Each structure stands twice: as C-alpha cells, then as structure tokens.
Amino acid sequence: MNKRFDTLEVEAGVFIPEIGKTYPQDKPDQSLLKPVYNNNIQFDETYPYLDDSFWFRFNNWCGYYFFLYPFVFTTNRLKNGLRIKGRENLKKYRKLLTEHGAICVCNHCNRLDAPAVLNALYASHNTRIPMYAPNFNTKDHWYMWAVGGIPVPESGLKAMKCFNAAFDEFNRRGSWFLIFPEAARWDYYKPLRPFQKGAFTMAYKYDKPIIPCVITFRPRTGIFKLFGKTDEPLLTINIGEPVMPDKSAPRKTEVDRLREVCHLKMQKMAGIRHNTWNVKPDNE
C-alpha cells in the first residue's frame, strides 16, 4: 500500500506510525488536503505582502500572545503530547541568531506543526512563514495571517517581485523565517520527502543560518489517549545545530549543499538510516 516504507530503514526503537493512510508514491509535493474555499482573496501585486498597518500589527501581536501561546501551544501539549529536544543546540549561537535571525526548516506532518516549531524556538511575533496562497481563502485565513503567514504567489512576475521585496525587508528587520521545504502536508509520514530549494536560496541570498528541525513520533499512551485518537501518534520536535551558508561559494553549488546537509541532519535526528526519497525533487 505504501511502497516507500518497504525500503525505509530506521534505527532500533524508532516508531513508525500506522494510521491506515495511503500516500502518493511518486509525487512528494502533492497536496492531500481538500479544503473548502470560502474567500476570494487575490494574490497578485496588489496584495499587502509587507503589511505595516496598525490593524495587522495589532492582530499579529494578539495572535501570538493571546491565541498561539495560551491556546494552540496548550492544545499541542495535550492533544499531541508535544515534547521538545535540542534547545541547547541554539545556546552557543544566541548572539548570531539574535542579530541576524534565522531560517528554520522542518518536515510538514501535522496540522499543528507550525505552532510546534514556533513554540520550540520561543518564536516572536516577528516570525514570517511563506504559505500556500489558496489556503488563505479557507476558514483558517485569520490564523494564517495573524501568525505572520505570507502567501506565495502561484503566478505573475509582478506579484512575485512584491513577495520578494517583502522578504528583503523582513530580512533587513532581522525577522526569523519558518519554511516547510517538503511543500505539502502529509500527516504522520515518517520518511523525509524531497526539499524544494526556496529556503536554501533565501539562506544564501540573506546570509542567514538555517536551523534544521524534524518532528518524530511516539505511540499514544497514558493520559494522552483521552485527548486524541489512539492510532494518532504523539509528537517530538528535535532541534539541530544551525547550518551556516558559505557566501564565497557559487550560489547554485551552495544552495545544493545547504539542502543536502539539512536533509541529512534531519534524517539522522529522525533516526532514519536509509531514506526512500532523494534530497531534491526529480523534476527540478
């Protein structure tokens, strides 16, 4: 049913969820969600990718400190049994990360994985998250917008130019970026899928360190059986040491190196000895 799991090799004791779900075998960025679109926002050059309005700043601050921290993070702890490992890996880089910000990359495997990463990194409301634009037209619009989600234009050179200009300014302000390089969310999927190059291109462009994180799974046990389905695993987020870009290297070479190093680090943290996907998409 899931042939990619047949050749997956993991370390002893590593838990692989079995939730009765079938995943695509040859389209690692295929969306498995079927959202209901109830808005009609246009993501063209008129969209405020860089929104400095009082209304956004108010919602952004409230979204973090009245919604994410007290509600969503608590839900993650109870429903997903969230554990965090590896925060000590960031301590010796505190000065660098404070001054320059960072780009965090993580596998995309749960509806609440973005809040999990934000929680793990003690993220501030200045964090920005490139997101799949059409999802801003769902019932989750306010949540995605308020936590700093920036829709990635699907087409249009003018729109993409505005998007890029916004991130140039976010970088100038020292913002942190959270990016899911697998692109699509596949719930509780163990293998690491190929990484799109966007996060690593940004790291090279902005000379920004990359923090590799990976979410792993544990069996649902004890009191956590009261807060979720018994076949849905609990989550652990693992934080690795930052990976620094080498600006003296050619851009393409360095982007490929950053992508490969992060993918391999995340495989190791996930307890994967042999992954079943390539590091980058076959059609790139």
Residue 64: per-residue pLDDT: 93
Mean pLDDT to the nearest integer, 202-209: 97
Q: Which string of DSSP letters, residue by residue, matches 64-128? A: IIIIIIIIIHHHHHHHS--EEE-GGGGGGGHHHHHHH--EEE----STTHHHHHHHHTT--TT-B
Residue 121 pLDDT > 90: yes
Element (DSSP H or E) covering residue 158: helix 157-172
Residue 35: per-residue pLDDT: 87
**Mind listing the pLDDT tens digit for each residue in 74-108?**
999 999 999 999 999 998 899 889 888 999 999 99
Q: Which string of DSSP letters, residue by residue, matches 218-278? A: E---GGGGGTS-TTSPEEEEEEPPPB---TTS-HHHHHHHHHHHHHHHHHHHTTEEE-SS-
Q: Identify the band that residue 1 occupies on the pLDDT scale cut at 50, 70 and 90.
A: low
Residue 260: per-residue pLDDT: 98
| Stated pTM of the model | 0.95
**Mind listing the pLDDT tens digit for each residue in 132-177?**
999 999 999 999 999 999 999 988 899 999 999 999 999 999 999 9
Contact (CB, 8 A) for 189 and 23: yes
